[in-house]
Structures are given as structure tokens and as C-alpha cells.
Amino acid sequence: MGDKEDTEIPGLPRYISAHEVAERAGVSRSAVSRTFTHGASVSVATRAKVMRAAEELGYQVNDLARGLLANRSQLVGMIASDTETPFRSLQIATLSRLLIESGRVPVLITTDSTASGQASHAKLLRYRAQATVVLSGMPSRAFIELAQRNGQPLIAIGRNEEGPDHIRVNNKLAAATAVQVFAARGMQRIGMVTSAVGSPNLLEREQAYVEAARAAGLDVFVERAERTDYEGGSLAASLLLSPARRVEGVFCVNDLMALGLMDYARNMLGLRIPEDLSVVGFDDIPEAGWGAYRLTTFQQSVERQAREILHILDLRLASPSAPPIVTQLDVPLIMRDTVRSMKVDRTVPTP
């Protein structure tokens, strides 16, 4: 009787089986299995026969079947929203590359609130994915709880549920730094642009920014668009930058909103940046460094984040019952051209 790896399903493409490799090599079926199992005992001569036969036939190991037999595959799920945005696409591409380099297979599930989207999330559990990385404020807490009940390791980025391993960014320090940047330049009326998405990251940035502004004695105004994108930044700018408010500096919760705000301020209101309005973003997407923007922004390194995800994944697989791992990454401020220079007192003191 063959094992699951050799099972053929009517109507699906036929793949070369391990049994055929064994016949071509003149060895047992178990010898083929041991040859392709890391650390298994097999003689040099047998290994050479099997590898030669596999190459001649074009045989590929059925890792999915092996993973199901072991009750865990090499699949690593990535659940993400807004996959078309620059930061998210870089985040997915970088993590996918490092997962492949580590011998794993990344699977992307785009998130939404529909029944079909929720069913796609649950499929990761049925395929016994090695782990799931939640890259956005969705899916719902219900999925997080379902995954935990099924024993699947979860690494959550920018979320706050109890139980999963977490990677967070230092939103509070970034928001307070943005206020300090504006206050140090003598600004008294500052603003913030965010959205109604309500993810933990955005809420934390908003709360910390408003608290720091009020503690510094500054007037602070907050405007929210429906989405955290370029159009949202433009819309929020139309509400925030009224002549009556005389806002001097704006902190945007991501770079896309900052770019939308800058273009609206320049093209629709005739404001000069940074002379009339200073702008600080968050993420440091490639577009932030383009000559048309040269945006001052807080840098989220997708490379550093992805490497931290793999580090946590290795730790979790080595110690499944260890307490949740929580890592916080700093986001350094990259100064470019959208914040006005500090005034320097050039008065020569009287001797």
C-alpha cells in the first residue's frame, strides 16, 4: 500500500511518485523517503542512486503531504490588508523572500470582513500552516482566538491581543518626537491626520500625539479620513488646513496620507512646504524620498521587522509552551526637507 505522497486524485495532474523513483533506482520505497528526509540514515551509494533517478524522472518531494502526515507543514501564512499600498507590498515582499530563504513557503491571504475572507483565514488552520503572521489590524479577534485554540503559532504585527507573539513599534516615542520637532521650531498650533480605520497602531499614535501636544501647551487639531491612503490625506488636509486654524505643523500617521496632504496644501491652498507648513510622516516608503516630496518621516524598516519575525518564529517552534514573546522596534526619524529649520539667535552679546 502506498502512502499519501503517492496517492493520485482523478482529474488532477499526475506527478512522478516516490514509488517510480524507487523502481528506477532499484531501491526500496523507504530508501527514497529516507533520502529526502533531513537527518535520516541512508548510505552514500543508495543516496546517489536515488538522486540520479529523481533527476532523470523530474521527481519533486510532496512537501504538503509530508506536512500533513507530520501534522505541520512548511507553509507560513501572511494575513494582510491594503496589499496594494507601498509599505504593505514591501513588507510582504521582504518577509516572503526571507521565508523562502529559510526553506518555508509563504502563503498570502488578503483580509476583509466578508464571509469569504474569513473562510480563507480558516484554511490556513486546515492546511496545518507552521505559523501565521498577522500583518494588519484585521482579521477579527475571532480568528486570532480560533488559531490559538488549534495550537497554531501566531505572530501579530501592531496588534494588542493577549496570547500571540507580538512585534510592535514605538508609536508613543515617535508621536512625542513629532511634537518636540514642532515645538522646538516655535510652533503653537499643530495638527494630525489619521483615519477612521481604528487599528491599534493608529490609535496609539493619535493618543500619544495629542497627549504630548497638550502637555507642551500647544493647540492640537485632529482630522480623520475614511481610509489611510493618499486620497484620505488629501481629504483630511481640506478639513484640517482651514485659514482659521492657522496650523503650522502636521503629523501624518503614514506617508501616503502625508503625500496626499502635501499635494493638496501646495496645489489647492498655495502653501509652501516647509516655509508655511511643516509635515512629518510615518513609514519611510520609497516615495517619501522622491524629489517632489523629500518627506521627513519615521522609518519602519521592513527588513529588520521581517528578520525579527523569523527570529520569533524559530524561538516559538523550539519552545511551543514558552510565554508570549513581545518585541518593540524603534522607528528613527529621517530628517529631509518638509520641516522648517530651527531659528538661530545670531545676536552678538555685548561685552
Q: What is the pLDDT of residues 165-218, one digit of tens each?
A: 999 999 999 999 999 999 999 999 999 999 998 888 999 999 999 999 999 999
Could you tell me if residue 151 is left (phi over 0), alpha (psi between -120 and 50 degrees) or otherwise beta? left
Query: Can you tell me the distance from the alpha carbon of 175 to that of 215, in angstroms, rounded to the nearest whole number?
Result: 13
Counts for the chain of helices (H) and strands (E), in that order: 12, 12
pLDDT of residue 55: 85
Q: What is the DSSP letter of 166?
A: E
Q: Which of 41-55, 125-139, 231-245, 335-349 has the highest average model confidence (pLDDT)?
A: 231-245
Query: Can you tell me the distance from the alpha carbon of 64 to that of 86, in angstroms, rounded to the nearest whole number?
Result: 32
The pLDDT-based confidence of 346 (bands split at 50, 70, 90) is very low
**CA of 15: how far to CAs of 6, 7, 8, 25, in Å?**
9, 10, 8, 17
User: Phi, psi at residue 5, to the nearest 5°?
Assistant: -65, -25
The pLDDT-based confidence of 137 (bands split at 50, 70, 90) is low
pLDDT at 7 > cutoff 70: no
pLDDT at 67 > cutoff 60: no
pLDDT at 119 > cutoff 70: no
pLDDT at 121 > cutoff 90: no
Q: Quick one: cell of 235? A: 481629504
Query: Can you tell me the distance from the alpha carbon of 299 to that of 283, in angstroms, rounded to the nearest whole number?
Result: 5
Half-sphere exposure of 230 toward its Cβ, with a 13 Å CA cutoff?
A: 9
pLDDT of residue 348: 39
The pLDDT-based confidence of 313 (bands split at 50, 70, 90) is very high
Listed residue (320, 323, 328) closest to 130, CA to CA: 320
pLDDT, one tens digit per residue, over 10-48 is: 554 566 888 888 998 999 888 887 887 766 788 989 989
Q: Are 108 and 95 in contact (CB under 8 A)?
A: no
Length of the chain: 351
Q: Quick one: cell of 256? A: 501616503
* Coil, helix or strand at residue 243: coil
Query: Could you tell me the domains of the chain?
Result: 4-69 (1.10.260.40), 75-169+302-329 (3.40.50.2300), 171-299 (3.40.50.2300)
Query: Can you tell me the distance from the alpha carbon of 108 to that of 11, in angstroms, rounded to the nearest whole number?
Result: 26
* Rg, the chain, Cα only: 27
pLDDT of residue 347: 42
What average pLDDT does the structure give for the chain? 86
pLDDT at 302 > cutoff 70: yes
Beta carbons within 10 angstroms of residue 138's beta carbon: 21
Query: Can you tell me the distance from the alpha carbon of 72 to that of 157, in angstroms, rounded to the nearest whole number?
Result: 23
Residues contacting residue 79 through CB under 8 Å, at least 6 positions apart:
109, 110, 111, 121, 124, 132, 133, 134, 135, 136, 138, 139, 143
Q: What is the DSSP letter of 84?
A: T
> How are beta strands 131-134 and 165-169 bridged, if at all?
unpaired
Q: Which of 57-66, 121-130, 207-216 has the highest average model confidence (pLDDT)?
A: 207-216
* Coil, helix or strand at residue 339: coil
Q: Quick one: cell of 97? A: 523572500
Q: Are 31 and 22 in contact (CB under 8 A)?
A: yes
Q: Which amino acid is at 3?
A: D
